[in-house]
Amino acid sequence: MSWFAQILWDELFGWAQHIVASLPDTPLGSRLRLAFYRSCLKSCGQFTSLSGLWIASPQDVSIGDGVSFNRHVMIDATDGEIRIGKNVLIGPYSVIRAADHVFADQARPIREQGHVGGVISVEEDCWLGSHVVVTRNVTIGKGSVVGAHSVVTKDIPPYSLAMGVPAIVKGSR
């Protein structure tokens, strides 16, 4: 695809995604969001979502069956990959982002140093509370619960209860 065609495609996709994200929180709105994302995700099971779901680089995102996205969730696989297993619950205003800014060179502005990508895997039957942030190169193990407002920067073992900034394991279920 030429650079112009890619820019045009990205622009049209952005407009379409904005419209889809703004659909009302009704069964029809959720079905239309699912249909839209099924057409562009790497793989996509049956999921439900409320308004405001935003997925960047959908070609690098896999979503399993039974996943539920609450309001205004952002999934950003730019420069990386994101895998969300079956029956995962993601609370409102959560952010799952597969890349971080590079900031090692103090002589250059951070915005000019680019990004470094990674892989995020949220295994099946997890619950991420409201406003959770998940950073690159993290696996949240099967059956884990991550408390509201936590920032996950390291792997969480299966069936763990994790919370805090940064998130640490406080127990198991």
Q: Can you name the residues that pair with 76 across neighbouring β-strands? A: 56, 97
Cα-flanking dihedrals φ and ψ of residue 123, to 5°?
-75, 170
CA distance 84 to 106: 35
Asked if 131 is an active-site residue, the reply is no
Catalytic residue chosen out of the listed positions 18, 72, 101, 131: 101
Beta bridge partners of 67: 47
The C-alpha atoms of residue 143 and residue 155 are separated, in whole angstroms, by 13
For residue 64, how many other CB atoms are within 10 A of its CB? 19
- Identity at 18, one-letter amino acid code: H
The catalytic residue positions are 101
